[in-house]
Chains A and B, each alone.
Chain A
Amino acid sequence: MSGLIDPLLSVNDLDAHYGPIQALRGLTLHVNRGEMVALVGANGAGKSTTLRTVSGMIRPSGGAVMFDGEDIGGLPPQRVVARGLAHLPEGRELFPNMSVEDNLRAGFWVRRHQSSDYAAMRDRVMDHFPILRERAKQAAGTLSGGEQQMLGVARALMCDPKLLVVDELSLGLAPLIVAKLFDILHEINNEGTAVVIVEQFVHMVLQNTDRAYVLAKGHVVLEGRSADLLADPKLIASYLGEGAGHGQRAPTPAGVS
């Protein structure tokens, strides 16, 4: 899949700040068309910030973001999403008092001028999520955690994105639900939508993606094919420091006194 000359998303030497704190330091990565890419790394490494900067929620303080041949660096999020880059933020951020259907309609906002297509788009999206069809009239806040995450993905798909970026897909969800969500993301990916996933559970996300970037301190410290990274000792070292790895088993917690 990789190696195409014209990547869908290319991020070059990106800097971002929260007030005085620099969260991204010269981050460079790319996502090819139709690819599934993982972003992993320790807490505070800049994974979520990368997604937020790419989707326009944070203005970059340096570097470039090219999406589908256009410079989108510094564009406000509503214009980024209109170009086909949908961001499902951490914690889903659904409209809890609105029905499932209305949440999906809100996701269609940037395509609202093509309102005749709404029903078609909704049906297409709901084909991936039969359970949401059953619950179309229910308030989003009353869904289970897994269903809410599905609705989050569904709402993001309503703008017919070329690239879907998902932050903390598995947060607070049971492993079986997460597996199901990965299934659905694969379906979506097979239909041609590129997907970027930020995830705490490194093994799971590496087993489900084509390529991955390992972030630390706001830049990429390791990248490669996900399958290769799984076996790379440098992966563990990037989390636990030099010298870390599967070795002898450490003593179990002893009494402290």
Chain B
Amino acid sequence: MVRLPQLSIRRTSVPRLPALPQIGPRARRLAISLLALALIVSWPWTLPLPLAIVTDAVHACEYAMVAVSLVLLTGWVGQISLAQGAFVGVGAFVTALVFRKANIPFPASLPIAVAASALVAVLLGIVALRVRGLYLAVATLIFAWMADAFLFSASWLVGAGGSASLPTGTIGKTNTFVSFDLHDVRVFYLVILAGLCLGLFGASNLRDSKTGRAFFAVRGSEMAAVSLGIDVTRYKLLAFGLSGAIAGLAGHLQIVGDGSAVPAQFNFLTSLFYLSIAVVGGLTSLSGAVAAGILFSALNEVFFRVTALNGYIDIVAAMLLLTVLIVYPGGLAASGQTLGRRLQTIASALRSRLSGSAAVEALDGSIVQLSEHGSSRASAPSTVETVVGEQGSLLELIARARPEVEDRLELEPVLEARGIIVRFGGLTAVNDVSLMVRRGEIVGLIGPNGAGKTTLFNAIAGLNEPTAGSVHIFGKDATALPVHARAALGVGRTFQLIQLFPQLSVFDNLLAATHLLNPTGFLQHLVVSERALYEEKAARERVTEIIDRLGLHDVAHRTVSGLPFGVLRIVELARALVTGAPFVMLDEPASGLDDAETQKLADLLLTLRNDLGITFLLIEHDVAMVTSVTDYMYVINRGQLLAEGTPGDIQRNEDVIAAYLGQPAGQVAEEVGA
């Protein structure tokens, strides 16, 4: 193993999540939280406000809940839904249905209503798996329309007379201490507030977990997500189910509060209204969703109270939406963040003036904090200098240095592709190509333009299915496996056009790659079990080590969009390393890099191979780079294997030279008579 310079400043150089600012001693924070809670719970009784305001608060909670369901589905997973109103409706009508048919009252009917909405949402999700973007929006729109036209007009669901009713009741014995009279809007406010808190609790727990990162990964790049072992289908359906459940909860509570519901409340215009709330909130932020819920409820009240404004709410809401879309694409959430940052700056300036020193205490870095997600994306040191530089700790991955052998045939095969044929219609893009990558090797696959390199690479990676032939990875037949299952066999990859998750920081991009290493499931993430917490900590430590090793500290907490291209290439390679895959496929890693960056990349590949025993297969246009770094090369031309051998053999192979430069002094040229 090559001895690497040990960094003496390792402790301080470890990238860590920015610590939460210490407001004060624990007791003081607790006191503040309790005070806030008491205020939020008791204001309907203690403040001298009309009951109408409490009703507005109830609406705000309802809007916020549906907006949260959209944040999860659309903001995080990227699945646009114009059918959220239908999910709400299912929750409401099923609540009435189970009361009517089975006499199941309010608290007991909650899980049934929520499950029904979740189920309906998953059904829509199954249809939606096949479509993306605009077509997905249209599909959900059609679903909303069909729910309105067929489901909500069915008397078995809605009840006779086209409206469902639910006698509002009480929980417990009236006038005893633990009784809730839901006729009292103030009491109902507490119920719906609890519902909203439940939704927020679950959603925010998921956001900061493996599940949440899988969501973000699916939105960022499905191709990259599957390459990290994330089962995109599963997570899309999970998101639909969870989103439907939260929306269903909102519908359930809505009918419990109102006592009745009519189908017109849940048509697709309602869905659009909900989507507007989520968009104004910023679409990816939970707190933004809550703020937008409050804003829209307040607007409702104002436009209802002020006679002069009657009838203009739609226009104003539309203007608001347009303004947000054009001027503040981040919605209320982004504006809130900007405001928060300004306040923080002012506060720290004040503090430093008072105490005479910068607020250094605020940074307590020795513990990796599982902090708010938003803060982990906060700005970090901005210098982007040498990325491939000093190596830090000795990372124990698959620490198996490359054995020195006379003959590569003695090495254990990592990848074996046999007789690969890929046909597109009548065109044979790859014709009977076999290649083998052995443990600890760096193998290059080259070929002139249009030779079929990428097609072959994709067949090996699982992105297209070969017409014939087989792919074995670590001795296991992977020919028919989907990409995420191949990833589980120990294959990582990078992409020619970088496929990082643009909304996430470098750190979170790498964290998403710990997916396969983390055995906990979404229920554990929902309630933040001890196991989930432990795995999360382990994942963060792992990412920290890789960041350390590749010298990415300076950019660790910056969002990937806006970073220099050469850095992005390294980040993508780092992400493949985080998965722990002993075999990494690189798709044109040097394209877009300058000479110095290419050289650094080549050095890095050699270091990773020598120190960690990682096996690489790269396809590359830059043949000079490939010859400098590989142990063995395959050349394909016109879909067929033209040559294979060591770089030296390949460089002197007349067939290869001819394939790259054209036939020397051919007959054709003589005819032309240059």
Contacts and interface: CB of A to CB of B under 8 A. Distances in A.
Given A217-B595, A218-B594, A245 B652 contact: yes
Interface string B60-89: 000000000000000000000000000000
B652 A242 contact: no
B641 interface: yes
A245 B448 CA distance: 17
Contact of A203 (B565, B654, B665): B665
Contacts of B651: 240-241, 243-245
B592 A22 contact: yes
Contacts of B306: none
A71 to B, nearest CB: 26
Contact of B661 (A179, A202, A247, A251): A202
A25 to B, nearest CB: 6
B645 A208 contact: no
A250 B643 contact: yes
B653 interface: yes
7 contacts: A200-B662, A202-B660, A202-B661, A217-B598, A240-B627, A246-B654, A249-B652
A130 interface: no
Interface of B: 416, 418, 434-436, 448-449, 563-565, 568, 588, 591-595, 598, 621-628, 641-645, 647-657, 660-666, 668-669, 671-672, 674
Contact of B623 (A218, A239, A248, A253): A239
Nearest to B561: A20
Interface in A216-247: 216-218, 235-247
Given A22-B594, A256-B434, A178 B668 contact: yes
A208 B672 contact: yes
Contact of A250 (B436, B625, B652): B652
Nearest to A210: B674
Interface in A20-64: 20-23, 25, 42-44
B652 A42 contact: no
A139 interface: no
A240 B624 contact: yes
Given A20-B565, A246-B657, A241 B624 contact: yes
A251 B448 contact: no
Contacts of B568: 20
A20 B624 contact: no
Contact of B669 (A200, A207, A243): A207
Contacts of B672: 179, 182-183, 186, 207-208
A182 B673 CA distance: 10
Given A42-B623, A240-B650, A253 B643 contact: yes
B662 A203 contact: yes
Interface of A: 20-23, 25, 42-44, 175-176, 178-179, 182-183, 186, 200-204, 207-208, 216-218, 235-257
Contacts of A179: 668-669, 671-672
B268 to A, nearest CB: 37
Given A241-B628, A253-B642, A42 B671 contact: no
Q: 9 shortest A-B CB distances, which residue pairs? A: A201-B662, A244-B651, A241-B624, A247-B652, A250-B653, A241-B627, A21-B592, A250-B649, A207-B674
Contacts of A252: 643
Contacts of A244: 627, 651-652, 657
A194 to B, nearest CB: 17
Contacts of B653: 249-250
A108 B654 CA distance: 46
Contact of B594 (A208, A217, A236, A256): A217
A248 B652 contact: yes
Contacts of B669: 179, 203-204, 207-208
Contacts of A183: 672
Given A20-B568, A250-B650, A241 B623 contact: yes
A222 to B, nearest CB: 13
A235 to B, nearest CB: 7
A153 B671 CA distance: 21
A137 B642 CA distance: 44
Nearest to B595: A217
A44 B625 CA distance: 13
A22 B668 contact: no
Nearest to A176: B668
A254 B662 contact: no
Contacts of B564: 20
B605 to A, nearest CB: 15
B621 A250 contact: no
Contact of B666 (A21, A204, A237, A249): A204
Contact of B448 (A178, A200, A254): A200
B644 A21 contact: no
A157 to B, nearest CB: 20
Nearest to A172: B450
A219 to B, nearest CB: 9
Nearest to B413: A257
Nearest to B642: A253
Contact of A242 (B418, B624, B655): B624
Given A20-B564, A44-B621, A250-B653, A208 B628 contact: no
Contacts of B449: 43, 200
A256 B649 contact: no
B459 to A, nearest CB: 15
A239 B650 contact: no
B657 A217 contact: no
Contact of B654 (A22, A249, A253): A249
